[in-house]
Structure 1
Amino acid sequence: MQVIIYTKPGCVQCSATTRYLDDRGVQYVAADVTADAAALEAVQQLGYAAAPVVVADGNHWSGFRPEKLDEIAGAA
Protein backbone atom coordinates (compact mmCIF):
# COMPACT_ATOMS: atom_id res chain seq x y z
CA MET A 1 0.00 0.00 0.00
CA GLN A 2 1.37 3.40 -0.96
CA VAL A 3 0.80 6.17 1.57
CA ILE A 4 1.34 9.81 0.64
CA ILE A 5 1.20 12.59 3.21
CA TYR A 6 0.94 16.11 1.88
CA THR A 7 2.49 18.39 4.48
CA LYS A 8 3.74 21.91 5.07
CA PRO A 9 6.45 23.28 7.38
CA GLY A 10 5.40 24.15 10.93
CA CYS A 11 2.19 22.13 10.72
CA VAL A 12 1.50 20.52 14.10
CA GLN A 13 -1.04 18.05 12.70
CA CYS A 14 1.41 17.10 9.93
CA SER A 15 4.11 16.34 12.49
CA ALA A 16 1.66 14.34 14.62
CA THR A 17 0.60 12.32 11.57
CA THR A 18 4.13 11.46 10.44
CA ARG A 19 5.25 10.72 14.01
CA TYR A 20 2.25 8.42 14.53
CA LEU A 21 3.10 6.42 11.40
CA ASP A 22 6.82 6.42 12.21
CA ASP A 23 6.09 4.96 15.65
CA ARG A 24 4.16 2.13 13.97
CA GLY A 25 6.76 1.44 11.30
CA VAL A 26 4.55 2.50 8.39
CA GLN A 27 6.44 3.69 5.33
CA TYR A 28 5.09 6.73 3.50
CA VAL A 29 6.09 9.43 1.06
CA ALA A 30 5.93 12.99 2.39
CA ALA A 31 5.30 15.81 -0.09
CA ASP A 32 5.67 19.44 0.99
CA VAL A 33 2.93 21.48 -0.66
CA THR A 34 4.92 24.69 -0.15
CA ALA A 35 7.89 23.38 -2.13
CA ASP A 36 6.22 21.11 -4.71
CA ALA A 37 3.69 22.66 -7.09
CA ALA A 38 2.47 19.23 -8.22
CA ALA A 39 1.79 18.26 -4.60
CA LEU A 40 -0.20 21.45 -4.02
CA GLU A 41 -2.18 20.82 -7.19
CA ALA A 42 -2.93 17.23 -6.11
CA VAL A 43 -4.27 18.44 -2.75
CA GLN A 44 -6.40 21.10 -4.41
CA GLN A 45 -7.80 18.59 -6.91
CA LEU A 46 -8.88 16.42 -3.98
CA GLY A 47 -10.73 19.44 -2.62
CA TYR A 48 -8.60 20.18 0.44
CA ALA A 49 -7.22 23.48 1.66
CA ALA A 50 -5.55 22.37 4.91
CA ALA A 51 -2.67 20.03 5.69
CA PRO A 52 -1.99 17.29 6.28
CA VAL A 53 -3.75 15.40 3.55
CA VAL A 54 -3.25 11.65 3.69
CA VAL A 55 -3.84 9.48 0.63
CA ALA A 56 -3.76 5.71 1.12
CA ASP A 57 -5.29 2.81 -0.74
CA GLY A 58 -7.77 4.96 -2.66
CA ASN A 59 -8.94 6.82 0.46
CA HIS A 60 -7.99 10.33 1.50
CA TRP A 61 -8.65 12.72 4.36
CA SER A 62 -7.32 15.86 5.96
CA GLY A 63 -6.07 16.36 9.50
CA PHE A 64 -4.63 14.13 12.20
CA ARG A 65 -6.97 11.12 12.28
CA PRO A 66 -5.56 8.37 14.54
CA GLU A 67 -8.43 5.97 13.77
CA LYS A 68 -7.67 6.21 10.04
CA LEU A 69 -3.93 5.93 10.65
CA ASP A 70 -4.52 2.76 12.69
CA GLU A 71 -6.31 1.29 9.66
CA ILE A 72 -3.22 2.02 7.55
CA ALA A 73 -0.90 0.54 10.17
CA GLY A 74 -3.03 -2.61 10.38
CA ALA A 75 -2.97 -3.06 6.61
CA ALA A 76 0.75 -2.34 6.20
Structure 2
Amino acid sequence: MVTVYTKPNCMQCNFTKKYLTEKEIEFQTIDITESEEALAKVKGMGFQAVPVIVAENEEAFYGFQPDRLAKLV
Protein backbone atom coordinates (compact mmCIF):
# COMPACT_ATOMS: atom_id res chain seq x y z
CA MET A 1 0.00 0.00 0.00
CA VAL A 2 1.18 3.48 -0.86
CA THR A 3 0.56 6.34 1.56
CA VAL A 4 0.54 9.93 0.35
CA TYR A 5 0.84 12.62 3.02
CA THR A 6 -0.89 15.73 1.72
CA LYS A 7 -2.36 19.10 2.64
CA PRO A 8 -5.14 21.20 1.08
CA ASN A 9 -4.42 23.38 -1.96
CA CYS A 10 -1.21 21.50 -2.77
CA MET A 11 -0.70 21.31 -6.52
CA GLN A 12 2.04 18.67 -6.33
CA CYS A 13 -0.19 16.59 -4.05
CA ASN A 14 -2.99 16.79 -6.62
CA PHE A 15 -0.64 15.80 -9.45
CA THR A 16 0.63 12.86 -7.41
CA LYS A 17 -2.85 11.59 -6.55
CA LYS A 18 -3.98 11.99 -10.17
CA TYR A 19 -0.93 10.08 -11.43
CA LEU A 20 -1.47 7.21 -8.99
CA THR A 21 -5.17 7.04 -9.86
CA GLU A 22 -4.48 7.01 -13.61
CA LYS A 23 -1.91 4.22 -13.16
CA GLU A 24 -4.39 2.32 -10.96
CA ILE A 25 -1.96 2.24 -8.05
CA GLU A 26 -3.82 1.71 -4.78
CA PHE A 27 -3.07 4.44 -2.25
CA GLN A 28 -4.36 6.17 0.83
CA THR A 29 -4.05 9.85 1.67
CA ILE A 30 -3.39 11.41 5.03
CA ASP A 31 -3.90 15.16 5.44
CA ILE A 32 -1.14 16.50 7.70
CA THR A 33 -3.28 19.54 8.60
CA GLU A 34 -5.84 17.23 10.21
CA SER A 35 -3.44 15.05 12.17
CA GLU A 36 -0.65 16.26 14.42
CA GLU A 37 0.60 12.67 14.55
CA ALA A 38 0.91 12.55 10.76
CA LEU A 39 2.69 15.91 10.69
CA ALA A 40 5.12 14.69 13.35
CA LYS A 41 5.73 11.49 11.36
CA VAL A 42 6.52 13.44 8.18
CA LYS A 43 8.87 15.77 10.06
CA GLY A 44 10.42 12.77 11.81
CA MET A 45 11.30 11.32 8.41
CA GLY A 46 13.12 14.57 7.66
CA PHE A 47 10.63 16.12 5.26
CA GLN A 48 9.51 19.75 5.34
CA ALA A 49 7.21 19.67 2.29
CA VAL A 50 4.44 17.52 0.86
CA PRO A 51 3.46 15.34 -0.81
CA VAL A 52 5.47 12.69 0.98
CA ILE A 53 5.10 9.26 -0.57
CA VAL A 54 5.70 6.16 1.53
CA ALA A 55 5.54 2.65 0.08
CA GLU A 56 6.68 -0.78 1.16
CA ASN A 57 10.20 -1.68 0.03
CA GLU A 58 10.81 1.85 -1.28
CA GLU A 59 12.61 4.82 0.22
CA ALA A 60 10.17 7.59 1.15
CA PHE A 61 10.34 10.70 -1.04
CA TYR A 62 8.55 14.00 -1.50
CA GLY A 63 7.24 16.00 -4.41
CA PHE A 64 5.62 15.00 -7.67
CA GLN A 65 8.22 12.67 -9.18
CA PRO A 66 6.69 10.59 -12.00
CA ASP A 67 9.89 8.56 -12.47
CA ARG A 68 9.81 7.42 -8.83
CA LEU A 69 6.04 6.98 -8.82
CA ALA A 70 6.33 4.69 -11.86
CA LYS A 71 8.44 2.29 -9.79
CA LEU A 72 5.47 1.75 -7.49
CA VAL A 73 3.49 -0.06 -10.20
Same fold (TM over 0.5): yes
Q: Which residue of 2 aligns with 1:65?
A: 65
What are the ranges of 5 or more consecutive residues in structure 2 without an aligned counterpart?
Answer: none
What is the alpha-carbon distance in structure 2 between the residues aligned to residue 24 and residue 32 of structure 1?
Answer: 22
Task: Output the CA distance in 2 between the equivalents of 1:42 and 1:53.
Answer: 10
Offset at 1:37?
A: 1.1
Q: Distance in 2 between matches of 1:24 and 1:62?
A: 18
Q: CA deviation at 1:23?
A: 0.2
What's 2:40 paired with?
41
Please list every run of at least 4 consecutive aligned residues from structure 1 whose deviation after the TM superposition is greater than 4 angstroms.
Answer: none
Matches for 1:8-27 after TM superposition, within 5 Å = 8-27=7-26
SS in 2 for 1:19: helix
Match of 2:31 in 1: 32
For 1:70, give the aligned amino acid.
A
Q: SS state of the match for residue 72, structure 1?
A: coil
TM (norm. structure 2) is 0.94
Aligned-residue Cα RMSD (Å) equals: 0.8
Give the % identical residues: 36
| 3-state SS in 2 of match to 1:4 | strand
Gaps of 5+ in 1: none
